[in-house]
């Protein structure tokens, strides 16, 4: 039997990159997939079709995860369409990197709103369904820079560190209802965004990693499968670094 057979998963920011890899990995394990991104464009439609080709129900929704009202709306739509929500992956996130002396208030506020407030929005909207079910797994996408910090990323680091505190608090609040909440802290993962970096920068990154290479989106996705499935039935409030040893 597949690890997520019969489960319904909601994944934010999943038209591409790590979110898409998570959606595909979940579908391969039998889960039906609802996923969100800012707009319903050709990329979302293509991802939707790719997941459906794996033999599961999959629908993409245009939604702004940083908006509380929009998050409530899309969660209610998904719950109505799919009947329940068993797994939530809070994956949506952005960067606006700069040294603090050059960082604008707008860039600080935007990163906190998209990366941290979105997790409050979606978790609050989803928990009412999970509480009725007395079952759920919530997975929050943090980062190694939320654990270790990183120069030039004070806004991003703060948002991802905040996710860890939120994760541990929600694990304590909802554990008695059989709802688990864990976080994943990816390191340097090779995506479309990192592909735009120069070869010199990528080589410097690799030199800092004990495994001497970047990770793949699928590496993060498999960690999510663990947290989403009953393989981790007695694991909650934890942070798993998927970073090749960057964070020790």
Residue 237 class from Cβ within 10 Å (0-12 exposed, 13-18 middle, 19+ buried)?
A: middle
d(CA 161, CA 222): 22
Task: Give me 140's structure tokens.
Answer: 């929050």
- For 124, phi then psi, to 5°, come to -65, -40
C-alpha gyration radius of the chain: 17
Catalytic residue among 61, 129, 135, 156: 156
Q: Give the end-to-end CA distance of the chain in Å, rounded to a whole number.
A: 35
Residues 6+ apart with CB under 8 A from 159: 93, 111, 112, 115, 116, 146
- Is position 156 annotated as part of the catalytic site? yes
Residue 49 class from Cβ within 10 Å (0-12 exposed, 13-18 middle, 19+ buried)?
A: exposed
Active site residues: 156
């Amino acid at each position: 039997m597949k690890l997520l057979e019969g489960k319904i998963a909601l994944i934010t920011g999943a038209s591409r990159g790590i979110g898409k890899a998570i959606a595909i990995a979940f579908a391969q394990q039998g889960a039906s997939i609802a996923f969100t991104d800012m707009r319903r464009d050709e990329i979302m439609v293509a991802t939707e079709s790719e997941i459906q080709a794996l033999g599961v129900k999959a629908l993409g929704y245009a939604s702004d995860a940083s908006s509380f009202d929009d998050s409530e709306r899309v969660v209610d739509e998904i719950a109505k369409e799919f009947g329940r929500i068993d797994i939530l992956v809070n994956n949506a996130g952005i960067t606006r990197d700069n040294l603090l002396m050059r960082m604008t208030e707008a860039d600080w506020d935007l990163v906190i709103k998209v990366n941290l407030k979105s997790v409050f929005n979606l978790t609050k909207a989803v928990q009412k369904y999970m509480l009725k079910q007395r079952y759920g797994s919530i997975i929050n996408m943090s980062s190694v820079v939320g654990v270790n910090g990183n120069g030039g990323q004070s806004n991003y680091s703060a948002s991802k560190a905040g996710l860890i505190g939120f994760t541990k608090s929600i694990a304590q609040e909802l554990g008695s209802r059989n709802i688990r909440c864990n976080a994943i802290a990816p390191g340097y993962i090779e995506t479309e965004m990192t592909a735009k970096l120069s070869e010199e920068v990528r080589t410097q990154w690799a030199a800092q990693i004990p495994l001497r290479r970047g990770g793949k989106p699928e590496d993060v996705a498999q960690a999510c499968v663990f947290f989403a499935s009953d393989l981790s039935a007695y694991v909650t409030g934890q942070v798993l670094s998927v970073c090749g040893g960057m964070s020790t």
